[in-house]
Amino acid sequence: MEKEFKGTVLNGFLMLFVTLLMCFGSIALIIVAGMELIPVWIVGVGVALFILSFFLMPGFVMLEPNEAKVMVFFGKYEGTFSRTGYFWVNPFLSKKAVSLRARNLNVDPIKVNDKEGNPILIGLVLVWKLKDSYKAMFEIDSQTLAAAAANPQVATSQVASRMRAFENFVKVQSDAALRSVAALYAYDDNDSNSDEATLRGGADEVNQVLLDKLNERLEMAGLSVVEARINYLAYTPEIAAVMLRRQQATAIISAREKIVEGAVSMVKMALDKLSDENIVDLDAEQKARMVSNLLVVLCADESAQPVVNASGETK
């Protein structure tokens, strides 16, 4: 479990002054002793001070905001040091640098099957950061991952290689979480009366489930996802044309239902209006013919053209 570093921490500028004083002072003692102005045994003191100054130099630590050092003393975890500034600590401590800053990761679209078994392409973008430095460094094999992630042709720092290793870990787990979440939802809602969330229509719910899945998987590595959102969603090319036709047919049927519903309402209103105001008295056959004509006019894709017969009646 992560803990704060409780070891000796001194001001870095003070220790830098002391170290430089010891280094140049020891050189001065050796030179003066060589001129036989002081006893020869002072040379030993000068050499000892010179060697000691070199032992003190690895103890300097400089941290910027949202950076940390994982302190390890001969294999034992001593804590995480995250104070901003310039300090000096035990030079025998191994200091493993990590970044606590938020990072973006754009996961390329992957091919998965939705709840109905349709092959789809889905991708996501997420914001992640390191939450527990102990788990990140010692619960997963970050050292091997960092060595594998480093590009020998590019000069990169250890912290950059280590964070790239964490990013690769996040990418692999995000692929697994995305496949798991995509299998829980259908791509689109084929039933207009259904309240079930879909990948296309239930973005808020899907993103929240995806965020929970990612944090559950990354908890063991001490990493945390701040935000996760699906940024790419489409049918695979082999079924895209078929699904497009199905969507078009569904839209046409829905539109026709609205048109027929409105037409029936208008016909009923017309018949009631004629009957209430005694404009014309129609028998059952005339009403049927009128309803048929009105439905044809109201439901047709094109404007109706009147036909005038020889008797002078307009149809």
- Domain assignment present for residue 181? The answer is yes
Task: Please state, in angstroms and as integers, the Cα–Cα distance from residue 144 to each residue in 131, 141, 219, 224, 275, following that order.
Answer: 20, 6, 20, 21, 88
Assess contact for 126 and 105: CB atoms under 8 A.
yes
Q: Is residue 5 part of a domain?
A: no
Q: How far is CA 311 from the centre of its chain?
A: 75
Q: Are residues 66 and 118 in the same domain?
A: no
Q: Contact at 8 Å (CB) between 201 and 186?
A: no
* End residue of a domain, out of 29, 60, 95: 95
Measured CA to CA, the distance from residue 214 to residue 211 in angstroms comes to: 5
Query: Which residues 6+ apart lie within 8 Å of 173 measured at CB?
Result: 214, 217, 218
Mean pLDDT, range 83-111, rounded to an integer = 91
Which is more confident, 166 or 41?
166
Q: Where are the alpha helices (DSSP H) in 35-89?
A: 41-56
Q: What is the pTM of this model?
A: 0.69
Q: How far apart are CA 71 and CA 77, in angstroms?
A: 6
**Domain annotation covers residue 53:** yes
Q: Mean of the pLDDT values across residues 34-46?
A: 68
315 domain-assigned: no
pLDDT, residue 90, reads: 92
Whether residues 124 and 225 share a domain: the answer is yes
Percentage of residues in the chain having pLDDT higher than 70: 78
Q: Provide the percentage of residues in the chain whose pLDDT is more than 90.
A: 31
Sorted by sequence, the CB contacts under 8 Å of residue 19 that are 6+ apart come out as: 53, 56, 57
Domain closes at, from 44, 62, 95: 95
Query: Is 257 buried (19+), middle (13-18) or exposed (0-12) by CB count in 10 A?
Result: exposed
Domain membership flag for residue 285: yes
Confidence at residue 154, expressed as pLDDT on a 0 to 100 scale: 39
Residue 217 to residue 173: CA distance in whole angstroms: 7
- Stated as kind and residue range, the H or E segment containing 61 is strand 60-63
| Residues 224 and 114 both lie in one domain | yes
Neighbouring residues of 170: CB distance < 8 A, sequence distance ≥ 6: 105, 126, 128, 218, 223, 225
Q: What is the pLDDT of residue 292?
A: 75
Are residues 107 and 222 part of one domain?
yes
> Does 32 have pLDDT greater than 80?
no
Same domain, 245 and 230: no
Domain boundary among 235, 266, 286: 235
Least confident window among 6-10, 32-36, 122-126, 256-260: 32-36
Domains in the chain, number: 3
List residues bridging with 123 in a β-sheet.
Answer: 232
Dihedral sign for Cα 138, 140, 141, 142, please.
Answer: negative
Which is more confidently placed, 108 or 260? 108
Do 224 and 247 fall into the same domain?
no
217 lies in a domain? yes
Give residue 50's pLDDT band: very low, low, confident or very high (50, 70, 90): confident
Residue 190 exposure: Cα atoms within 13 Å on the Cβ side: 12
What is the model's pLDDT at position 152?
A: 44
**∠ Cα 224 229 231 (to 5°):** 140
Q: Give yes or no for residue 129 having a pLDDT over 90.
A: yes
pLDDT digits (tens, 9 = 90+) for 56-66: 899 999 999 99
- Does 38 score more than 80 pLDDT? no
Give the pLDDT mean for 173-178: 92
CA-based nearest residue to 134, from 217, 181, 70: 70
Q: Is residue 215 part of a domain?
A: yes
Q: Same structural domain for residues 231 and 107? A: yes
Q: Are residues 109 and 228 in the same domain?
A: yes
How big is the CA angle at 125 (ends 124 and 130), to the nearest 5 degrees? 125
User: Is the separation of the CB atoms in 115 and 175 below 8 Å?
Assistant: no
- What would the mean pLDDT of 132-153 be, rounded to a whole number? 69
308 found inside a domain: no
Burial of 57 (0-12, 13-18, 19+ CB in 10 A): middle
CATH number at residue 131: 3.30.479.30
The answer to whether residue 169 scores a pLDDT higher than 70 is yes
Complete DSSP assignment for 110-147: EEEE-TT--EEEEEEEEEEEE--HHHHHHTS-HHHHHH
Residue 191 and residue 252 in one domain: no
Greater confidence (24 vs 276) lies with 24
Residue span of the structural domain in which 156 resides: 103-235
- pLDDT of 45 strictly over 90: no
**Are 108 and 91 members of one domain?**
no
- Asked if residue 122 and residue 217 are part of one domain, the reply reads yes
Residues 81 and 156 in one domain: no
